[in-house]
Amino acid sequence: MSENEKLTIVMFSGDMDKAIAGFIIATTGASMGMDVTMYFTFWGLNIIKRNEGKIKSHGIMRKMLNRMNRGGAKRLKLSKFNMLGMGTWMMKKLMKETNTPSIDEFIKMAQDMGVKMVPCSTSIGVMGLSADAFREGVSSIAGAAFFLNEARQSKVTLFI
């Protein structure tokens, strides 16, 4: 087992602003030599859904949920001032102007830096998602016991 200090982040929210915060902290931690695990649960699963194609699921209610709640890094919205997408579009432009990576780029950077991205098995079950809902490079799904075991060994644990 590694002796690096650990950083564990629960990504509960699927809001663009919180996702950015999570990835800035995660990639900064990795660049400081920390072992970083991001645990994606509930709306946070949207961040790591693949951008292309349809997300399949069984039953009318799950089909509705997964259509409304499509997700994918490119579809996340600001928690405030979304204004039918205009605020979100503006924020993306401002980030680009200041050379801040997009969430899509942040995910790739984080993966290249060895950040582990783990989807929560319970949320996946309730929402009826299959493994192919997620983008490449995402780890196997795991439950809350996995998260707590990481967290209890971590110097820093955040719930975002």
Site residues (vs its own copies, CB under 8 A): 5, 7, 10, 12, 17-18, 20-21, 24-25, 28-29, 31-32, 34, 41-43, 61-62, 64-65, 68-69, 79-81, 90-91, 93-95, 98, 100, 122, 125-128, 143-145, 147-149, 151-152, 154-160
Between residues 42 and 111, which has the closer beta carbon with respect to its own copies? 42
**Shortest distance (Å) from residue 141 CB to its own copies:** 14
Taking the complex as a whole, the smallest distance from the CB of residue 29 to its own copies amounts, in Å, to 6
Decide: 38 and 9 in contact? Cβ < 8 Å: yes
DSSP 8-class letter at 114: T
Q: How far is the CB of 136 from its own copies (least distance, A)?
A: 26
Nearest to 36, CA basis, from 133, 112, 130: 112
For residue 159 the two structure tokens come to 């719930």
The single-letter DSSP state of residue 134 is: B
Which CB sits closer to its own copies, 41 or 134?
Answer: 41
**Least Å distance between CB 5 and its own copies?**
6
Least separation in angstroms between CB 150 and its own copies:
10
Neighbours of 60 (CB within 10 A): 7
Residue whose CB is less far from its own copies, 97 or 136: 97
- Helix segments in the chain, DSSP class H: 16-31, 45-48, 60-68, 86-97, 103-112, 121-127, 144-152
Structure tokens at 18: 């919180």
| Residue from 44, 37, 39 nearest 7 by CA | 37
Nearer to its own copies, 34 or 110 (CB): 34
